[in-house]
Amino acid sequence: MTDSKQWQAVCTKADLVPDSGIAVWTEQGPVAVFWVPDVEPGLFALGHYDPIGRANVLARGIVGDIKGEPVVASPLYKQHYSLRTGQCLEDEQARVPVYPVRLAGDRLEIDLAGQPPSEQAA
């Protein structure tokens, strides 16, 4: 059985900042990576583009929690996007892609080939 995922190394663990995001460049464009050590699974990767603010800014957003859901607040108009699903909590029409992410040794890798977890069939 082969692994259908195609992991791309985008940064190292030393590049991550607890309870914050960084923007990384991938083959598909910018991705916002968040390290939230107190929330399982701890690492999250979302599209960096805010569809409401129409700018690549989500990695600069404030990480928080709304009713148990880990979120990032866009720095532009303050909409909250779920770190798990990419869904905007204030606007059901707005969503950002979510990507599988993992640590492989000291390298942080993102799978851009597979479907984001929030869109996989159950």
Largest Cα separation within the chain, whole Å, is 45
How does residue 76 score in pLDDT terms, banded at 50, 70 and 90?
Answer: very high
Q: Summarize the confidence of residues 37-47 as an average pLDDT.
A: 96
* Cβ neighbours, 10 Å, residue 101: 22
How does residue 113 score in pLDDT terms, banded at 50, 70 and 90?
Answer: confident
Give me the pLDDT at residue 121, please: 30
Give me the pLDDT at residue 56, please: 98
Q: Which amino acid, 112?
A: L
In the predicted model, is pLDDT for residue 1 greater than 60? no
Angle at 19 between CA 13 and CA 22, to 5 degrees: 55
Give the Cα separation of 61 and 71 in Å (integer): 9
In the predicted model, is pLDDT for residue 118 greater than 50? no
What residue ranges do the domains of the chain occupy?
7-112
Give me the pLDDT at residue 109, please: 97
Predicted structure pTM score: 0.88
Give me the pLDDT at residue 114, please: 56
Domain 7-112 has CATH 3.30.2010.10: no
